[in-house]
Amino acid sequence: MSVIELRPHHALCVHFFEGKGYSEGFVRHMTDVIEKLCDDTEIEITDSCDTICSACPENTDGICRSADKVSEIDKRAAEYMGIKPGEHISWRRISALAMDKIIDNGKLNDVCRDCKWIDICCKER
Ligand code: SF4
């Protein structure tokens, strides 16, 4: 697979995705993206709409309807993980950073505090 663009907080969403989302098409697409991720998949960090956003009904011409809120979530996620937009990183590495620096580090509630899906991700944490 070619390079996958990922906004920082989507490295978290992938860990908790359980088939819920903004539309059937979005869920199908996100499922496909996740199934294709493997340790060596090359990820390019972006601070705008990414591969997952590409099938989202909230995405209008590359701008998320909740861009202000989502950008803040991305900034917090990127800061904890120590990554920057434009950086290339393996899925193995960013996945480990998401787990170690945020999820297992008890920071999910802080990073994702304004996200409408947070109850899915934090229900067992
Ligand atoms: S809501 Fe916004 S950030 Fe989330 S997938 Fe849709 S376009 Fe992307």
Residue 52 CA to ligand 1 center (angstroms) comes to 8
Residue range 2-31: mean pLDDT, rounded? 97
Distance CA 87, CA 70 (A): 19
Contact 100, 109 (CB under 8 A): no
Give the largest Cα separation in the chain, rounded. Answer: 36
The string of pLDDT tens digits covering residues 98-118 is 999 999 999 999 999 999 999
Residue range 69-92: mean pLDDT, rounded? 98
Residue range 45-60: mean pLDDT, rounded? 97
pTM of the model: 0.95
Each domain of the chain, given as residue ranges in start order, spans 4-119
The count of C-alpha atoms lying within 13 angstroms of the C-alpha of 105, restricted to the half-sphere facing its C-beta, is 14
Q: Ligand 1 pocket test: which of 4, 16, 48, 49 has the largest number of ligand atoms within 8 Å of its C-beta?
A: 49
DSSP symbol at 101: I
Contact 8, 83 (CB under 8 A): yes
The residues, any chain, with a CB within 8 Å of residue 35's CB and separated by 6 or more, are: none
The string of pLDDT tens digits covering residues 22-43 is 999 999 999 999 999 999 999 9
Angle (CA) 25 56 71, round 5°: 155
Q: Ligand 1 pocket test: which of 22, 47, 48 has the largest number of ligand atoms within 8 Å of its C-beta?
A: 22
Q: Is 6 in the pocket of ligand 1 (CB under 6 A)?
A: no
